[in-house]
Amino acid sequence: MSRVFNFSAGPAMLPEAVIKKASEEMLDWNGEGMSVMEMSHRGKAFMSIASKAEADLRTLMSIPDNYKVLFLQGGASQQFAAIPLNLLGDKKTADYVNTGMWSKKAIAEAKRYCDVNVVATSEDSGFTTIPDFSTWTLNPDAAYVHYTPNETIGGVEFDYIPDTGNVPLVADMSSTILSRPIDVSKFGMIYAGAQKNVGPAGLTLVIIRDDLIGNAAENTPAMLNYKTHADNDSMYNTPPTYSWYLAGLVFEWVLQKGGLEGMGQINKAKSDKLYAAIDGSDFYANPVEVRYRSWMNVPFTLKSADLDAAFLEGAAKKGLATLKGHRSVGGMRASIYNAMPEDGIDTLVNFMNEFAKENS
């Protein structure tokens, strides 16, 4: 069976070149006579894999020297608790922006540890826009400001980095990291689950400024304390070694694609093509304010929900998989992360045009 175009929101497609290289190295990595998944995380072979992966990520994102890069477990959701435990210090409040389901989950978890000031919310709009920055009620005494640059479910994405002054900015970049260049120095901390643009599930990236490490609450579990992992090069315990290795292969692949400048151009072109197909038809619709449409997650509805099942069935026959929208939103959702080739977008657009013609 040939490979399908997988539009899943995560775990998502991996670059075919990465999967092929991993398969070639499955039984014997670099003459070691063993698979990466069998290696000791403290052995020279894996240590070389780990250090190269970090170096390549630093190059890709131009990460300043005063930031640590941590390769952790637990997913982005575990960071919802780790962030207040580590960053509150002697403060009692933190600012959060609510732009969708993942923002809401981060807010709910943070409320277990501190007073949460929701500085802005777009819930009244059904999370189809971003509140204008001029309306945000930022607290200059907050420990940090948390936001989700891209909401995977609603397909809403910031087109700017909020300026929070001296208050550290914290971003859940799970579904937008590595999709285009960003200025890391504008953030106190960036975190991301791997299973969208970085690699397979099981790995979580944390990029954190040095001065924000070492201030954890006394009751913070060792495994949730950033200092634990920073002091041990992310190897306090056995890390997700194979996911780390695959992430390293993805970093190499992105570099070969022209780095984040190159990926940004590719991703913009892919999303523009798909949105043009939606906007150019009265059969499909996207609910998000144009300015804040996501490059990575494109929800759309058909003229009648009664056609959804037929659309999905027809799409599957064309090798277009996992297009069903999230249950909270309905309709369809095409997640078009870095690994989605332009051929996948072309195949989807052609099918959408055919389906609309047949069912208008």
Identify the CATH number of the domain in which residue 323 sits.
3.90.1150.10
Q: What is the mean pLDDT of the chain?
A: 97
What CATH number is attached to the domain comprising 60?
Answer: 3.40.640.10
Calpha distance 23→359 (Å, rounded)? 43
What does the longest C-alpha to C-alpha distance in the chain come to?
63
Quick one: pLDDT band at residue 301, thresholds 50, 70, 90? very high
- pLDDT tens digits, 134-190: 999 999 999 999 999 999 999 999 999 999 999 999 999 999 999 999 999 999 999
User: Which residues constitute the domain of residue 178?
Assistant: 17-256
- Among residues 29, 68, 102, 104, which one is catalytic? 102
| Co-location of 219 and 296 in the same domain | no
Pick from 259, 304, 268, 298: nearest CA to 283? 304
Claim to verify: residue 292 and residue 238 sit in the same structural domain: no
Task: State the Cα–Cα distance between residues 172 and 77, nearest whole angstrom.
Answer: 10
Q: Tell me, what amino acid is at 204?
A: T
Does one domain contain both 200 and 295? no
Is the same domain home to 90 and 227? Answer: yes
Q: Is residue 219 part of a domain?
A: yes
Residues 38 and 135 in one domain: yes
Band (pLDDT 50/70/90 cuts) for residue 328 is confident
Do residues 215 and 334 both lie within one domain?
no
> Would 288 be classed as within a structural domain?
yes
172 catalytic per annotation: yes
Whole-angstrom distance, CA of residue 146 vs CA of residue 96: 5
Among 256, 285, 314, give the residue marking a domain's end.
256
Answer yes or no: is 174 within a domain.
yes
Query: Structural domain tally of the chain?
Result: 2
Instruction: Tell me if 326 is assigned to some domain.
Output: yes
Of the candidates 68, 196, 244, 270, the residue annotated as catalytic is 196
pLDDT band at 329 (very low <50, low <70, confident <90, very high): confident
**196 tagged catalytic:** yes
Co-location of 273 and 318 in the same domain: yes
Q: What is the pTM assigned to this prediction?
A: 0.97
pLDDT bracket for residue 330 (50, 70, 90):
confident
Catalytic one among 56, 68, 104, 172?
172
Which of 208, 241, 256 corresponds to the end of one domain?
Answer: 256
Task: Give catalytic status of residue 102 as yes or no.
Answer: yes
Q: Do both 251 and 335 map to the same domain? A: no
173 and 239 inside one domain: yes
Residue 307 sits in the same domain as residue 328 = yes
Residue 331 contacts residue 302 (beta carbons within 8 Å): yes
